[in-house]
Amino acid sequence: MKDSKKKYLFVKNYLEGTNTILDFGCGTGNFLLAVKPDGHSIYGHDISQHAAQVASKRLNANVTSGPAFEETFNEGQFDCITCFDVIEHLSDYRDKIRLFRRWLKLDGLLFITTPNINSWDATVLGKRWYGFKKYPEHVVYFSPKSITELLKSEGFDIQKIKVWGFVRSFKYIIEHLFQDRGAGRILMRTTNKLGLGSAEIYLPMVDMVVVARKH
């Protein structure tokens, strides 16, 4: 929920009044749960029927599931669409961007978070990079340049691109970086002895957040 609240605080800076918001790839609804108290009209969609059912019960809101088509939502239905940590999983990402544009109102906002393949940590860590997932989990990686070109070619103006980190425990970081090698096991034992294994820190890297407006 910490990440979801942080995302909503960022999105909220771009919103005026009450809005109709779709979270595409909503999972079990954490982001929309952060949005709901402000009175926006909220919708969710997820490929997983189970996740969508959980989200629908938690939110008491309209959450759809399965593949997305033009008719899944109405043309010009939304003021804002969020797509967090989803696009890197999609082989048909361009088709999804076109759907988002169709579903957005004129001047509607699109928010995307995705790993930044040009980030310094991606360069340094290589296959141990937090954003790296083997195919078919992650099928595409973007840089600020490539995602700008994609969105501009599909009728969006870029409003902002910035570094977007996340909160993780020391245990997660050590396991991911060292992948059970000797040095990692020693560091993990030391961290646990100090009672820091479950302590969380903010990593200001890995992802980027993109804000785009339909024109």
Identify the bridge partners of residue 164 per DSSP, sorted by sequence position: 207
How many C-beta neighbours within 10 Å does residue 65 have?
19
Q: What is the mean pLDDT of residues 68-82?
A: 97
Is residue 196 a part of any domain in this protein? Answer: no
Is residue 50 a part of any domain in this protein? Answer: yes
Is residue 185 a part of any domain in this protein? Answer: no
- What pLDDT score was predicted for residue 133? 73
Is residue 191 a part of any domain in this protein? Answer: no
Q: Which residue has the tokens 């969105």?
A: 151
- What pLDDT score was predicted for residue 206? 72
Q: What is the mean pLDDT of residues 39-62?
A: 97
- Tell me the pLDDT band of 195, cut-offs 50, 70 and 90: confident
Is residue 172 a part of any domain in this protein? Answer: no
For residue 32, give its domain range: 2-166+204-214
DSSP 74: -
- Relative to beta strand 104-115, strand 78-84 is parallel
Lowest mean per-residue pLDDT among 53-57, 82-86, 198-202: 198-202
Is residue 124 a part of any domain in this protein? Answer: yes
Q: What is the mean pLDDT of residues 93-104?
A: 98
- What pLDDT score was predicted for residue 79? 99
Q: What is the pLDDT of residues 108-146, one digit of tens each?
A: 999 999 999 887 766 776 776 666 776 688 899 999 999
Lowest mean per-residue pLDDT among 14-18, 78-82, 103-107, 115-119: 115-119
Q: What is the CATH number of the domain that holds 73?
A: 3.40.50.150
- What pLDDT score was predicted for residue 173? 65
Is residue 56 a part of any domain in this protein? Answer: yes
Is residue 186 a part of any domain in this protein? Answer: no
Look at the chain and report how many structural domains it folds into: 1
